[in-house]
Copies of this chain bind each other. A is one copy, B any other.
Amino acid sequence: MSKRHAQPTLSDVARLAGVGVGTVSRVVNGGINVSPETFRKVDAAIQRLGYRPNHAARVLKGGRTKTIGLLVPSIADSFFASCAEAAGRVARLHDSLLIVSVTKNRHDAEMNSLDVLMRHRPDGLLLVPSSSSQTDLSRLLNRSPIPVITFDRPLPGSGCSSVLTNSFESAREATAHLIGHGYKRILCFGGEPELYTIAERVRGYHKAMEEAGLPPMIDTSLGPDASRASSLLAVHLKSKRPPDAILTLKNSSTIGTFQALQELGVPVPSRVALLGFDDFELATTLRPAISVVQQPIEDIGRTAAELLFAQLEGASRTKTSNRLKQNQVILANRLVIRRSCGCGSV
């Protein structure tokens, strides 16, 4: 059997131990109905040969692949990286591993990655959809025999559960906080308005401004990287109605805006206050410390993975899956007040 450098197989072990393949299989799988003596013999042979079960054969026979797919825009992004870490931890608890692929937020790359990923027959899929498109949706919905959980963004119409945060509410709250400071010309600033989270945040901002009777000032023309922040902000600041506060829509916008203000020599918060979405490691170290809306990143990844495994369990057990299938978990963001919005004295 064993050609040369090939891995030893069940029958190699069986031959060495002088037993049948069935017996070895029983030993490998916990040793029920195996005499202690035989167990010892077989175990010794396993150790001696360094036998490892062939995963592919097990899967082929009909088992789980013990693998879940993770499809995110980028794995270098700290947000998704932390989600991945948390999800990976949960996976390990279920004796599973993560197969990772990236979408770059582009639909074609996403479809391609999805296709490659599905070839590996993961038991389930954790997905951050790049958009709410239709081809995507239909393929997932129509012939995905595996449960799919979406996080950070929903996939309406696909019927799969999502783990989201209350972007709308927290944007509204954050904006209201700025309004409470007395700022009247609050600029909502950032990029990629086509993304769900960004759109929700803009909506929340809009609502709060409306409620306060203030005219909304929205500029979502900043790109994915925040390279143009400085020039864009220069224009806003030189306009006849310059903003006295800025709500930034995501991590990179917040940092880009801070850098731009620093570069332009605009004092924060005395001339322009700043409050941003997404916390970051050095937010407390910058001067002034940046006030942010903090997402429960770890919880997002963890919850998504837990939901997925719950569906997997449910699928193999009973018809409880309906309750799980319609789940939509909304986690609460936290407004973390520091200095940049004009508060405190730290």
Contact = CB atoms under 8 A, between A and B. Distances in A.
Given A99-B67, A281-B255, A54 B121 contact: yes
Interface string A279-301: 01110111100000000000000
B60 A88 contact: no
Interface in A66-102: 66-67, 74-78, 81-82, 84-85, 88, 92, 95, 97-102
A118 B88 contact: no
A132 B57 CA distance: 34
A273 to B, nearest CB: 18
A151 to B, nearest CB: 16
Contact of A286 (B76, B121, B285): B285
A100 B101 contact: no
Interface string A105-118: 00000000100111
Contacts of A286: 282, 285-286
B60 A75 contact: no
A95 B215 CA distance: 51
Interface residues of A, number: 54
Interface string A38-66: 00000000000010111111011000011
A262 interface: yes
Contacts of A92: 101, 113, 116
A60 B67 contact: no
A261 B74 CA distance: 34
A60 B59 CA distance: 9
Contacts of A117: 97
A255 B285 contact: yes
Contacts of A238: none
Contact of A100 (B6, B60, B100, B255): B100
A85 B53 CA distance: 30
A340 to B, nearest CB: 13
A193 to B, nearest CB: 24
Contact of A145 (B6, B78, B281): B6
A99 B97 contact: yes
A187 to B, nearest CB: 20
A258 interface: yes
A255 B286 CA distance: 11
The 3 closest A-B pairs by CB, nearest first: A56-B59, A76-B85, A81-B81
17 contacts: A54-B60, A54-B121, A56-B59, A60-B60, A67-B99, A74-B85, A75-B85, A76-B78, A78-B81, A95-B116, A97-B100, A98-B101, A258-B285, A259-B284, A262-B285, A286-B286, A287-B287
